[in-house]
Amino acid sequence: MDNILELKNITKFYGDKIKTQVLFGLDLSFERGSFNSIIGQSGSGKSTLLNILGTLDRPTDGDIIINGKNTKTLNANALSQLRNENLGFIFQFHYLLPEFTALENILMPVRILGKKIDKEVMARAEELIELVGLSKVKNNLATQMSGGQQQRTAIARALMNQASIILADEPTGNLDSDTTEQIYDLMRMINKKYQTTFIIITHDQSVAEKTDRIIEIKDGRILMDVRKK
Amino acid sequence: MKLAYSIAKRFLGYNKGQTILIAVGIAIGVSVQIFIGLLITGLQDSLIDKTVGSTPHITITQEDETSFEEFMIDGGSFTAVAYQAEGPAFALSENDDASVLLRGLSADGDKLYKLSEKLIEGRMPSAMNEVILGSGLSEKLDVSLNDELTLRTITNQSVVVNIVGIVDLKVDAINNSWVLATLATAQSLFELKDEITSIAIQVEDVFEADVLAEGIMTFERVNEQNLSVVNWKDQNEDLLSGLNGQSISSLMIQVFVLVSVVLGIASVLAITVLQKSKQIGILKAMGITDKTASWIFLFQGLLLGFWGAILGVLFGVGLLLSFTTFARNPDGSALIPIAFDPVFIAFSGSIAIFSALLASFIPAQRSKKLSPIEVIRNG
Ligand SMILES: Nc1ncnc2c1ncn2[C@@H]1O[C@H](COP(=O)(O)OP(=O)(O)OP(=O)(O)O)[C@@H](O)[C@H]1O
Ligand SMILES: [Mg+2]
């Protein structure tokens, strides 16, 4: 099977003097275009795992292979570029740039890539804005939008560079259940439309149940890995 | 780079109040520097002009105060070279008499002593036996323009001269004693033939006078005739050390202003890194490089420095203009004629820009080290 993302024997220790082990030799792989969720108790190591997957954090030991490329040997600049071109992040606290409008936030990954904002790019941005239903507020500053709108902006931003993998850490954590439903449907639609791989951390059982695969983490180990279909 | 610049601009625009505050802080620093710098320079220039503006900077005389043969001195550094024949004489008018100093001057004498500017009435002497008198002397002798005057030397030579002008020489001692004529008039009265008693020289840069004087000392004609060369700096050591002290204290003030500006910018920019650490973390998660992240802060420093400098130059020049407009002598002339030295102003502005850039290095370095994970973990 075509694996877009592979983890091999990932361990993670925190702390310098007093070392606490958070991840214990995880092996995981994700198929291209799959829609996955990670669940587990608070403190079990979900965020730690996702951040390592996203190259935001380095594991103490083990390999991460993204699109066939082992990230171990990459320097900071190469990692930045890899993130920019392949990965999109959605966090619980959306993390938009408050100084910029929704549209500008969505265009930011393209500018980081060093590409001109030409007609084609604008058309894609508009399409994504339409898709996530932000047409009315696209010129609002990030701070002038509701929580749900901000989260949808973050999703559009994560998709702007045609990221092949979207990593989401409790994306609906502080949204009401209706909005949660909408955001989930949106991610699902994008998954179908662009074959984007999704890895979503969630506390919400109903969200997890709608994904194709549920991975449960307990105390830094994989407790359960269930695939539907 | 372009991205870093546009993010920097946006960050500054978003925190308008803070941006304006820093820019004004830099501007005040720059304007104080410009004001103090140019004020002190203006003060010193006017002091120097008053002291040596219309006196010789270098004087060549015969050691034993007798006469010597005239010789050519020229060169770009010398703005006026006056050949002089002078000596004591006795002046007799119809009404009174007085001891005077008769000084015959070659053409450059007018320029050197600024005589034409100081003429109260009449004109400069141009022909044989025409003289101009200091205003004090003319009162003492009770003579006026176009009157005749008899001059007698200690060797009892005498001549009758025409008063063609009265001149105000500003300093009482010389106003009450000087009689000025052409070189030929004095040479003939003192029986000097073609010889002169001194050469008075003005130089372009008054502070170069000692160096130029040393150069003149090596002239063949100077050595041959055993002439002595003195310059104004030797005779005004107190004034010079005063000026020097003033320059140093002015420099100190400027340096301290600068240091406080740099510290101010550095500390505010350091705070903005903290303020913007979340944004930097997000940008890094999206793939911005450490270098671009640090350029955001360098550009912020540059922009602040640039606008601060422009504002500061405007403030500073405005301050100077109002100072020269409102601080005036009773006669309406400026109390301190300030030299608007564009080089100094540009220099001061560039220093501000440079210091702002320098001050932004620390925050830039910090932003480089900032890891996105910190931000994401800590909200
Ligand atoms: N920077 C750190 N230094 C030390 N320990 C850390 C650090 N970050 C996380 N930990 C520890 O690692 C463990 C896993 O944390 P992690 O954030 O991955 O949990 P999580 O599964 O995402 O929990 P939650 O559901 O509450 O978000 C926790 O015990 C936490 O205390
Ligand atoms: Mg977590």
Residues forming a β-bridge with B130: B162
**Atom of ligand 1 at shortest distance to CA of A220?**
14
> Could you give the 3-state DSSP secondary structure of residue B163?
strand
Q: Is the dihedral of CA B51, B52, B58, B64 positive or negative?
A: negative
Q: How far is A53 from chain B (nearest CA, A)?
A: 12
Separation between Cα atoms, residue A177 and residue B333, nearest integer Å: 81
A77·B289 Cβ contact <8 A: yes
Taking the Cβ of residue A109 and every Cβ of chain B, the question of whether any pair is shorter than 8 Å is answered with yes
| Span B58-63, average pLDDT | 89
Q: Which ligand is nearest to the CA of A16?
A: 1
Tens-place pLDDT, residues B77-98:
888 999 999 999 999 988 889 9
Which residue of chain B comes nearest to A107, CA vs CA? B286
Assign A103 a pLDDT band (cuts: 50, 70, 90): very high
Tokens, residue B147 = 């009157």
Q: Which ligand is nearest to the CA of A22?
A: 1
Separation between Cα atoms, residue B362 and residue B377, nearest integer Å: 24
CB neighbour class for B369 (10 Å; exposed up to 12, middle 13-18, buried from 19): exposed
For B119-236, where are the alpha helices, taking DSSP H only? 135-141, 172-175, 183-189, 209-217, 220-224, 232-235
Q: At what angle do helices B237-275 and B361-369 cross, to 10 degrees?
A: 20
Please give the pLDDT value at position B18. 87
* Window from A200-214, B125-139, B363-377 with minimum mean pLDDT: B363-377
**Mean pLDDT score of chain B:** 88
Instruction: Report the candidate in B325, B368, B62, B33 with the shortest Cα–Cα distance to residue B192.
Output: B62
Q: Residues near ligand 1 with C-beta < 6 Å?
A: A 14-15, 20, 22, 40, 42-48
Tens-place pLDDT, residues B158-170:
999 999 999 998 8
Per the CB < 8 A criterion, the answer to whether A128 and A159 are in contact is: yes
Instruction: Report the candidate in A168, A159, A203 with the shortest Cα–Cα distance to residue A43.
Output: A203
Assign B378 a pLDDT band (cuts: 50, 70, 90): low
Residue B126 CB partners (closer than 8 Å, separation 6+): B164, B182
Ligand 1: residue of A17, A26, A44, A92 to mutate (most ligand atoms within 8 A of CB) is A44
Separation between Cα atoms, residue B234 and residue B228, nearest integer Å: 13
Separation between Cα atoms, residue B308 and residue B28, nearest integer Å: 8
Separation between Cα atoms, residue B232 and residue A206, nearest integer Å: 97
Residue written as tokens 């009758």?
B160
Separation between Cα atoms, residue A13 and residue A160, nearest integer Å: 34
Measure Cα distances from B185 to A115, B151, B154, B161 in Å. 87, 11, 16, 9
Tens-place pLDDT, residues B299-358:
998 999 999 999 999 999 898 888 888 877 777 777 777 777 888 889 888 988 888 888
pLDDT at residue B363 tops 60: yes
- The b/e string for A132-155 (b: 16+ C-beta within 10 A; e otherwise) is bebeebbebbbeebeebbbbbbbb
Tens-place pLDDT, residues A115-152:
889 999 999 899 889 888 889 999 999 889 988 899 88
- Enter the ipTM: 0.86
Percent helix, strand, coil in chain A (nearest 5)?
Answer: 40, 30, 30
B372·A113 Cβ contact <8 A: no
| Span A101-121, average pLDDT | 92
What spatial distance separates the first Cα and last Cα of chain B, rounded to whole Å?
28
